Structure 1
Amino acid sequence: MHSRTSTDSISSLKLSDPVPDDWETIEDEFVMVYAAYQTHIGSDICFAPKATPNDGLIWLLMLSSRASRANILKFLLSMEDGGHINVPGVTMVAVTSLRCVPLTGTGYLTVDGERLPYGPLQATIMPGKARIMTR
Structure 2
Amino acid sequence: MRKWLRQRHEHQDITLQEGEAQQESDTLSQLARSKCLNHRLQCQLTAAQGRIADLTAENDYLRRLRQYERSRARDEVRKLMAEIHALQSHNSYIPEPKHQFDRARMEQPQALMDRSELHMDGN
Q: Which TM bucket (shorter chain)?
A: under 0.3
User: Which structure carries more helix by proportion?
Assistant: 2
Using structure 1 for the length normalisation, give the TM-score.
0.14
Please tell me whether Structure 1 or Structure 2 has the larger radius of gyration of its CA atoms.
2
Larger strand proportion of the pair: 1
Larger RCO: 1 or 2 (CA < 8 Å, sep 6+)? 1
